[in-house]
Structure 1
Amino acid sequence: MSDPAIPTAVKPPENATPATVRRMLDNWLLDVMSERFVGKDHRKTRDRFEAEVRAVADELAGPTPTPIEATLSLTAAVCWAELRYLWGCEQSGKDRTIAQADLSQRRLDKAHARYVRTLKALATVRRLAVPTLQVNVAHQQVVSNARPA
């Protein structure tokens, strides 16, 4: 039984791996975001927008991300894009009522909080993933929390 609320572009095949499903959802999300931020009729600009979000996600993920780091990195990149979009709207919003300006500022504050929370979660995951090495040599204890290269 299929769920009609799920867009066709996101319906994975029966034998899809979790990574495939995640990629399909990521692609769909970026497509929806780019359509909302840029507009339906500007395919080249939408492609550049999606590429920029992916570049930010790749930069945050690092050279060999774990699946959770990759997911959090893309989430942070999406939050970054939304924050930039709302900043732009805030700067270009002239002739607004006080209520409209207040709503805009609250949306901006919430987007910023989501971005910071996501970056904090990514940092926490990285910190928790670091194995601790403890060596006792002639009563001199050395503790290293360095991440392996």
Structure 2
Amino acid sequence: AQFGGQRFGEMEVWALEAYGSAYTLQEMLTIKSDDTIGRVKAYEAIVKGENIAEPSIPESFKVLLKEMQSLALDVQVLSDEGREVEVREEDDELLRAAEELGIDLSPGSLRAAAREPTVEEVEEGGERGDEEGELVVAADEQLGDVEGEEPPVEVALEETADVEVED
């Protein structure tokens, strides 16, 4: 599961059960576990003074489903009423949550937000760089040969002599 979460062992569960704190236990094992979207939504609800939404399916349960499916088992998750529950991937939930908040996660908007030049901007001579004046290029783009630019020069490294250090 990504981003980890709070580690909550069997003894901690027993201790909370002994004190009758079922809601705290449910929160620890669902919202505060590895459900990153649920955690953000719970925090947002607390800040806004609203009720916390129902927790979604924890990532550890999704991993269990994938492991069972890898054993060629047809696993269906059913609700209390007997209807099948759709288990979505976290990426789908993240995109849906971003859409609800009005955040555009498309590659073009992310590149604009990061102020990375495109290959076309670099080839047209658009001078964009970092603090040291170095050209910044997106990691998924490659620069073509620029006219008038000399090819890189290979430099042979020489072996150095051993140096003794006195104490």
TM-score normalised to structure 2 length: 0.27
Instruction: Identify the structure with the greater strand proportion.
Output: 1
Larger radius of gyration: 2
Normalising by structure 1, what TM-score?
0.29
